[in-house]
Amino acid sequence: MEDLYDIKSSKIDANKINLFGVFDGHGGSHAAEYLKQHLFGNLLKHPAFITDTKLAISETYKKTDLDLLDAETNINRQDGSTASTAIFVGNHLYVANVGDSRAVISKSGKAIALSDDHKPDRSDERERIENAGGVVTWSGTWRVGGVLAMSRAFGDRLLKQFVVAEPEIQEQEIDDELEYLILASDGLWDVVSNEHAVAFVKEEKGPQAAARKLTDIAFARGSTDNITCIVVEFHSDKTSSSPSSADQS
């Protein structure tokens, strides 16, 4: 199992903080384990976490990637990990993504992706990679250097010049129209569309049952990858987001 997840709650001054993350490892579980142990702790310690949350996320994710590489004594280790994360600060939601795990919300009944998969065939990603001296080639799918099927990740030492850990961040105000948030690794999204995922979640009673339903459906549809899913329900008490549940298979 190379997929891991992390859920943390905290309070800074008068701000209630909730953090959710899915880390999909490749080439081993070391990078995903490191992120689970360190990423959110590092973020909460950033001096600008409350005053400039986007800056704090960007700096923390890049610094944690450097720390991960520095902490690895085996320079031949080439594993890496995605990070699909949701950070709640008061009534604001920040979704920060590195890699091809995905975050989707249900808003007024509609499925809306709050992250774009970092794939080498994205025109902007391919241009960035090639400008840095890398190549994108076809080997069953589009790959960086003919090896990695995603264009951003933590770790991946040999490809680090091209495969960066710079997160793309989207901000969403939490209002009455928000219903659910789904964070999941590509083992789910490879076989379940955003729209179908939201529809399945609505059929279940509570986030834990919904997360289990999504993983079961992905398996039934033939997903061969690890599947990790977190479902967050908003406004379960009409005042705040509920505790989430995660399912991992």
* 190 and 227 part of one domain: yes
* 185 and 162 part of one domain: yes
pLDDT in tens, the chain (249 residues): 678 999 999 999 999 999 999 999 999 999 999 999 999 999 999 999 999 999 999 999 999 999 999 998 776 678 999 999 999 999 999 999 999 999 999 999 999 999 999 999 999 999 999 999 999 999 999 999 999 999 999 999 999 999 999 999 999 999 999 999 999 999 999 999 999 999 999 999 899 999 999 999 999 999 988 899 999 999 765 323 333 344 544
Question: Concatenated DSSP letters for 115-138?
Answer: S----TTSHHHHHHHHHTT--EEE
* 158 and 43 part of one domain: yes
* 145 and 169 part of one domain: no
What is the pTM for the complete model shown? 0.92
The residue among 127, 152, 177 that closes a domain is 152
Cα separation, 22 vs 231, in Å, equals 11
* 125 and 211 part of one domain: no
Q: What is the pLDDT of residue 243?
A: 32
User: What are the φ/ψ torsions at residue 84 (nearest 5 degrees)?
Assistant: -110, 110
The residue among 108, 127, 152 that closes a domain is 152
The residue among 109, 127, 152 that closes a domain is 152
Cα separation, 155 vs 11, in Å, equals 30
Cα separation, 210 vs 236, in Å, equals 14
Domain of residue 35: give its range: 3-118+153-248
* 168 and 186 part of one domain: yes
* 168 and 99 part of one domain: yes
Number of domains in the chain: 2
Q: What is the pLDDT of residue 244?
A: 37
* 135 and 159 part of one domain: no
Question: Concatenated DSSP letters for 72-92?
Answer: -S-TT---EE-EEEEEEETTE
* 125 and 218 part of one domain: no
* 69 and 135 part of one domain: no
* 103 and 124 part of one domain: no
* 98 and 168 part of one domain: yes
- Tens digits of residue pLDDT in 171-228: 999 999 999 999 999 999 999 999 999 999 999 989 999 999 999 999 999 998 889 9
